[in-house]
Amino acid sequence: MEESPGEGSMDKSRVLNVKPLRTLTPVFSAPPNSNSFPQGSAPFVCVPPAGPFPPGVSPFFPFSGIPNQSVPSGDHTPISSAVPINSFRSAEPPSARAANGNAGSSRRANRNNRAVEEDGYGDIQTWSSQSISQKRTKGKKDKIASPDVDMDVMVENIYQSYNLVEFEEARRYNGDKDSVGCVLLVYNLLRRQIVQLEDSKEATAGQSRRPDLKAGNVLMTKGVRTNAKKRVGAVPGVEIGDIFFFRMELCTIGLHAPIMAGIDYMSVKVSQDEEPIAVSIVSSGGYEDDVEEDDGLIYSGQGKEMDQKLERGNLALEKSLHRGNDIRVTRGIKDVGNPTGKVYVYDGLYRIQESWVEKGKSGSNVFRYKLGRLPGQPDAYKMWKKIQQWKDGIIPRMGIILPDLTSGAETLPVSLVNDVDHEKGPAYFNYSPTLKYSKPVPRDPFVGCACNGACLPGNENCDCVQKNGGYLPHIVNGVIVSQKSVIYECGPPCQCPPTCRNRVSQGGLRLRLEVFKTKDRGWGLRSWDPIRAGAFICVYAGEAVDDSEAQELAGENEDDHIFDGTRIYQPLEVLPGDLNNAPNLQFPLIINARNAGNVARFINHSCSPNLFWQPVLRGNSKEFDLHIAFYAIRHVPPMTELTYSYGMVPPEKADRGKKKCFCGSPKCRGFFY
């Protein structure tokens, strides 16, 4: 500050010539043996990160490479060891960034982009710090563990179980159904394990938990992906009607590359120049998109806060209009099982028919593109709309015999449907949702947990958590993390409520199911609702019998509704979990559902099933009851038959109950037991 006019006084009317710091000219250190500054610059010296440093100033980590290590002199010393910035998004080649318009890299950069409304996070695993603190408050006395688990070790275990260490280059760029299925299976398993680890730790205020992005980043970095080569038209291994619960899934299988942006495009060469064309769009309700009755879609362009410009995705759509190329369309639909999430259904190929500009709801100019669905494709989104009309009672379900097969025994009705022939229903049986033991069986003692509110992940004082290896076997929405030799559930002796997360198999049906007549396999089971990988389906109800009774039923050809846990199963072909352990039944469990049972008695066999069974031990009056629960191996679209593998009988029983298989799977063995 300049001198004041008099000692002890200050001329407050005088305006000082003070410049903000950002207007000063930074000057780097002068060469050795030179004390001069460039003409006209202020004496404000900014030292380069790598040096040289003025006297009294030491190099600092990480730019010095190693702490306390001297840095060679010179203005252009290279930085030897940069510290990587953690990112949930894998690096893309420059060509991909150009094709995608760099979409999805940050919310701030995309404030005028369609991406802002389509982050696609469709799960409740992002717990707020407030909700965590409320949950912890109820159980103050419970000690919450924070296990230090190496993510790389966890990923390596998954790699080994799937033999993914060398996911060959051909499968990365051009996939097939097996490659797509494998990538999605691994992605969802890794995502659920990340959720399980994060649930067992205290939440950090302001820190967002995005296991969907973390899992995708790990796999993309490791090269576990498929269909990485962009293409126009169908993607190998992806079928119309396939469903996804996370936008990152679309990226890992090459269906839609941008993590957030709704328009995916690529460059094509025209003469000497290149121009963008659209290859895929995701319509998830973030914009003013309209659905037409004739399988049409009116899609809004990118940009929300001002007049949209004919650039990037909008330009690609306009070019596709003139070229007439096919565009993949994926619809985002509200997830009924998760109010904050969406289900993404691949609806097939469309073409742009016309485009125009109109005023949007915000008053800005908006590009509108009318797309028509190519004929001859299976129904996908149209089937979803029809199912919703069934639920709302707008149109009747054709072929329905009984609106509720359970007669109110389940919390949700189960329809009995036959739209194939004139059969009026299966043979008579009593619907019962429980498993009954006719004879006492050996069981381990059980005391029960003392969790008053609910069993919390990572609670070291919860006996049930400790029996499950220190973790709860399920994450939110009743989704199992992985297949285990056995799961321990809370029971009547436990103090936790019926809504406890460790009572998943005790809450009854959570899906709107129907028993339907198949063309060649009798009666089967399917769902009106979409099913996410790892979701609980139902238990196998009936009467527990011994092997001698099961042989009598087989001799009478009455073994169509038998669950036989003594058969040989191959869990690693289904879902990895305890890699060295097959399902542990504690004792031979055979369930007869001929006279009394639930919907599980209608689940047919498949050599490529979409369900697996899991042994569950429930604590009951100082002992355990063994039950069988079914879970989804992968995402299952609505109206897809639910199946599991009936297993193989021991060689000495190979001549008993062998039947021809009609599962239709490419891996069909031709028979089952």
Is the Cβ–Cβ distance between 61 and 67 less than 8 Å?
Answer: yes
Strands 474-475, 435-437: parallel, antiparallel or unpaired by DSSP? Answer: unpaired
How much is the pLDDT for 103?
35
Q: Are 288 and 360 in contact (CB under 8 A)?
A: yes
Terminal Cα distance for the chain, rounded: 94
Percentage of the chain exceeding pLDDT 70: 67
- CA-based nearest residue to 135, from 451, 450, 449: 451
Residue 670 confidence class, pLDDT cut points 50, 70, 90 = confident
Q: How far apart are CA 24 and CA 44, in angstroms?
A: 8
Greater confidence, 583 or 660? Answer: 660
- Interval 147-168 mean pLDDT: 65
Q: Distance between CA atoms of 60 and 373, rounded to whole angstroms?
A: 60
Q: CB neighbours (10 Å) of residue 515? A: 22
Q: Cα-flanking dihedrals φ and ψ of residue 382, to 5°?
A: -65, -35
Provide the pLDDT for residue 64: 40
Reported as a single tens digit per residue, the pLDDT across 276-294 is 999 999 998 766 666 665 6
Contact residues for 151 (Cβ-Cβ < 8 A; gap 6+): 194, 218
Higher pLDDT, residue 238 or 360: 238
Q: Is the pLDDT of residue 627 over 90?
A: yes
Q: Which residue has the higher pLDDT, 258 or 289?
A: 258
Q: Give the dihedral of Cα atoms 133, 139, 145, 149; nearest 10 deg.
A: -60
Q: What angle do CA 394, 395, 401 make, to 5 degrees?
A: 125
Summarize pLDDT for 390-430 with one digit per residue, the tens.
999 999 999 999 999 999 999 999 999 999 999 999 999 99
pTM: 0.78
What's the whole-number mean pLDDT along residues 245-267? 94
Using one digit for the tens of pLDDT, what is the confidence trace for 357-366? 998 888 889 9
User: pLDDT by residue (tens digit) across 324-356?
Assistant: 999 999 999 989 888 788 999 999 999 999 999
* The dihedral sign for the CA sequence 640, 538, 617, 145: positive
Q: How many CB atoms lie within 10 A of CB 102?
A: 17
If you search the block for the tokens 């659209």, which residue do you land on? 278
Residue 106 reports pLDDT greater than 60 = no
Q: Residue 236 to residues 182, 268, 325: CA-CA distances in angstroms? A: 13, 21, 17
**Cα gap 461→458, rounded to integer Å:** 9
The residue among 391 and 442 whose pLDDT is bigger is: 391
pLDDT for residue 202? 67
Which amino acid would we find at residue 437?
Answer: Y
Which range among 177-181, 259-263, 575-579 shows the weakest confidence by mean pLDDT? 575-579
Residue 267 has pLDDT above 60, yes or no: yes
Closest alpha carbon to 191 in 147, 240, 155, 231:
155
Q: Where are the alpha helices (DSSP H) in 350-462?
A: 381-392
